[in-house]
Structure 1
């Protein structure tokens, strides 16, 4: 019954423009997406070049793993409280920067891991063949490694985006608009229908974005890669079968 009331609350046209004389669903959704977008863009600008460099050269992998594990150990709420308590004394813009910094720290490890793991998963013989054909390192990265590693890179991006979308909810605790406002205001007024409705909105947004990225990840696989592997495997199997059926030479 509570969930049915929460869905009625969500689909109430009045709640899309205003809720309890405050921002409505559209405004809070826009603020949530905007903060998520900024955090994802900054995360990609940091993690992708570093991950591609590590995957292409093989250098710095242990340091990247150590740094990612250290960052993952940070408590999100505690770190956000620490940064905002100092940043808000400066200006409101400093508070936004503190929010983005925390979410970037959350998003960098999975995207960084997806980038270098994607490049490391490529058969080294493919890279050597591209070098033998005279391609430069930049051409190898752009024409060979990136297309083949795209599914794993996008997998890391999906994980980073989901973590950021879920974590943006807590900024409402510090006065920044997001879908978490409905959860906090519902708890403050013991309006549990609004609490559940806010949770449903955050979950639906995460599932929708993840579904879009899943489709992009599926279509990012280069055509013929899996087929090429199947043909190679089949050819090897036929060769091995032919060798096993070949007559053995008689000894002298």
Structure 2
């Protein structure tokens, strides 16, 4: 049985005596944002959010990854928002990595805690309030929804990693699994946010090369990831941002499972106006 843990940024600043050498890299095919770069001075403020700061991990960039943005949001006690999303086109996923908060969707309240997951369709009425005595941290992934005539829009739902459909990848004997919150055959959804788990020593044994963009945040453990032509060592708290068609593979290392939160765009024709 996998013992789950969820890394969150620690904030602060490095000591003046530390070396400047780090693992951050930005290329034309991928980026790696290590956990050590997520300090106090690189946070952003968001409109209509109180007692809140966010680390912006990804944003649409022309010629790179263009479909999504991803934040880690930290809300202090008493903080939150009654108007969290300002773009009516945006759908969102929230995934909690620390603490908890009250999420109200269309008047219905949900108690969110570490491991909780929420899907929020565009123009959804939702609010966040941290009523606890401790800060809470969660991922917020946003994408402009691509509506299709004849296909209904998805509806809001709240789930938990423990309730997700865990699917073993073929011929891996359970060493490589994906926790899916949305049925891949559900054409209402144009993005998936899953949790991938590789047991120590497991591998993605070929260089995947495909049209989907990726955001990968390492929740637990460590591994060595093949990104384009490079092998990069990553650990809990690191974020990888992959352009479409960037070759990718990995080996899981260390005594813990290697687990990451994975974004990908799915179920739509390729746009021809870019």
Q: TM-score range by the shorter chain?
A: under 0.3
TM-score scaled by length of structure 1? 0.22
Larger strand proportion of the pair: 2
TM-score scaled by length of structure 2? 0.21
Larger-gyration structure (1/2): 1
Higher RCO (CA-CA < 8 Å; seq separation 6+): 1
Larger helix proportion of the pair: 1
